[in-house]
Structure 1
């Protein structure tokens, strides 16, 4: 699997959904298997490029065997305009429910 900006958007949007449905938790964790789609070898260069892509959006990534652990912190990651609107609504709902202050 080649990690894409669309994947990062999906992680951020899922984190926003988790935030709005949960107890106001701003951190979410994900796992990406870098061997999917038949990739035979995972080079350090490939791992570094995936981590750099994550870092470009303020998302932390660490290698975990044949994959990456992805950590999304909604207070630190770079949101696109739609995600910013989604997060604003989620924060409003969490505040109304008393789960985020």
Structure 2
């Protein structure tokens, strides 16, 4: 078992939610403990998970027994629904807080 597209979608959606806050930051970081997917963290598991993240334009690097994942909403690959949510969040944060992406 490995990181899934659903896991990545959840991180993207969380990043979009964070964007709508007062800070309005388009970059969010996450930590994924790979032991939640497989008891023994192998190089293949790490490589597969990093490759999956990279396929969506998301940076990931090994950190201990997990991954440090950086979701940049300006460069990652969004689904159509996520793109709509992203646009709504940008409009909201700009109208409410006067923020620009940063």
TM-score range, shorter chain: over 0.9
Indicate the RMSD between aligned Cα atoms, in angstroms.
Answer: 1.3
* TM-score, with structure 2 as normaliser: 0.92
Find out whether 1:57 has 2:52 as its counterpart. no
Alpha-carbon contact 1:54-1:61 (below 8 Å) kept: yes
For structure 2, list consecutive stretches of 5 or more residues without a partner in the other structure: none
1: distance between equivalents of 2:58 and 2:30? 11
* TM-score, with structure 1 as normaliser: 0.93
CA gap of 1:40–1:100, structure 2 versus 1, over 3 A, is same
Alpha-carbon contact 1:24-1:94 (below 8 Å) kept: yes
Q: How does 1:78-97 map to 2 (within 5 A)?
A: 78-97=77-96
- Following TM superposition, where does structure 1 have runs of at least 4 consecutive aligned residues deviating by more than 4 angstroms? none
2: distance between equivalents of 1:32 and 1:7? 10
Q: How does 1:8-87 map to 2 (within 5 A)?
A: 8-36=8-36, 39-87=38-86
Task: Output one character per residue of 1:34-63: Cα deviation in whole Å (capped at 9) or x when no partner.
Answer: 1125x3321111100100000000000000
Alpha-carbon contact 1:51-1:61 (below 8 Å) kept: yes
Shift of 1:100: 1.7
For structure 1, list consecutive stretches of 5 or more residues without a partner in the other structure: none
